[in-house]
Amino acid sequence: MTKNPSIDLLKGLLILLVMGGHAMELTHQQHVLLWIGSGFRMPLMIGISGYLLNVTRTRSMPTGEMFSRYGRRMLLPWAVAMLVYWLASGGLLSWQTPLDLLLRPPFHLWYVPALFLLILVTRLLPLSPLVLLAIGTPVSLATMYSFGLDHGAVGGSLLSPDSRFLRYPVYFFFGMLMAERGMPKRYLWPVLLVGALGLFWWSDLYGTGNALAFVPARLLMCLALIALLPSISAVRLHFGPINRIGRESLFFYLWHPLVMGLVAMLDPHGAVILAGAVLLLYIASALAGQGRLPPLLLGAVPQRRPAPVAMQPEPVTA
């Protein structure tokens, strides 16, 4: 799937929603908007990743090339961020620390290994997106109903993974299905209706603790949003600053809690924390994109250098 400005815009908006939600959590604010955002932000991010995945290339490239590609683009910046957050939090080193960090990543760092796991599954199981969705949906539903939608490990053993590793296949594979088959225009209004139903149902569950209803309400809301991705792609919307955040989504995602924590030390107000972090990360992403090593370690998009202008020969006078 080629780059699309509407998808970059959507990713940028989602990153801003993630940061807004974390700013509210940091300042201990409770609001229905925080609840709504937490319901669809990461499922939609995972769905977009499935929608954008080039399945043919992922399955056809040599194994070494695949690990090198995703190692440079995702895993190495994630490992650097993991080390920084672990040291900043005063983590203690033991023989099981690598397993803890890989299977049960702290803070927001679950997203990259969970996404890479889904990419690996796509490569290892050369099945159609529809079949993968049929396999992944029961896994997601069983995990949601057995362990809830809160964060935590699936079980208590050393090898128990974070539950989010198993909750999100339904969204990822549904995104792949939408990329393969699209959505006919005649289904647009029914999908919007289903999404609205899920949104209102999810909103109405705020503060109820009705765990049985959380799963279907969230599924209706999030799957409808993912089903809209082909229609959103066709519109080709663009707004420079937010598109830039969308293209730099990994950098913003990895480093925003650290920057927000630093801003909070200067001013504890949520709006200031959010605005200050967005501005600082916007500047930092441009600086981190310079050269070869900083983008590799920090997850920023390398800044392209303008191609040199060919010198035209001087005209020869007669």
pLDDT tens per residue, range 172-181:
999 999 999 9
What's the pLDDT at 210? Answer: 83
CA distances from 306 to 3, 80, 313 (A): 20, 29, 21
Residue 66 has a CB neighbour count (10 Å cut-off) of 17
HEC sequence for the chain: CCCCHHHHHHHHHHHHHHHHHHHHHHCCCCCHHHHHHHHHHHHHHHHHHHHHCCHHHHHHCCHHHHHHHHHHHHHHHHHHHHHHHHHHCCCCCCCCHHHHHHHCCCCCCCHHHHHHHHHHHHHHCCCCHHHHHHHHHHHHHHHHHHHCCCCCECCCCCCCCECHHHHCHHHHHHHHHHHHHCCCHHHHHHHHHHHHHHHHHHHHCCCCCCHHHHHHHHHHHHHHHHHCHHHHHHHCCCCHHHHHHHHCHHHHHHHHHHHHHHHHHHCCCHHHHHHHHHHHHHHHHHHHCCCCHHHHHHCCCCCCCCCCCCCCCCCCCC
What is the average pLDDT score of the chain?
A: 91
Provide the pLDDT for residue 90: 85
pLDDT of residue 157: 87
pLDDT one-digit tens code per residue, 255-292: 999 999 999 999 889 999 999 999 999 999 999 999 88
Give me the mean pLDDT over the 289-298 stretch. 92
Instruction: Dump pLDDT digits (tens) for 7-56.
Output: 999 999 999 999 999 999 989 888 898 999 999 999 999 999 999 999 99
Chain segment 90-137, per-residue pLDDT in tens: 888 888 888 999 999 988 999 999 999 999 999 999 999 999 999 999
Does the pLDDT at position 242 exceed 70? Answer: yes
**Per-residue pLDDT, 220:** 97
Q: What is the pLDDT of residue 148?
A: 86
Query: Over 60: is that where the pLDDT of 306 sits?
Result: no
Using CA atoms, how far apart are residues 227 and 182, in angstroms rounded to an integer? 8
Boundaries of every domain in the chain: 5-298
Residue 43: count other Cβ atoms within 10 Å of its Cβ: 24
The pLDDT of residue 305 is above 70: no
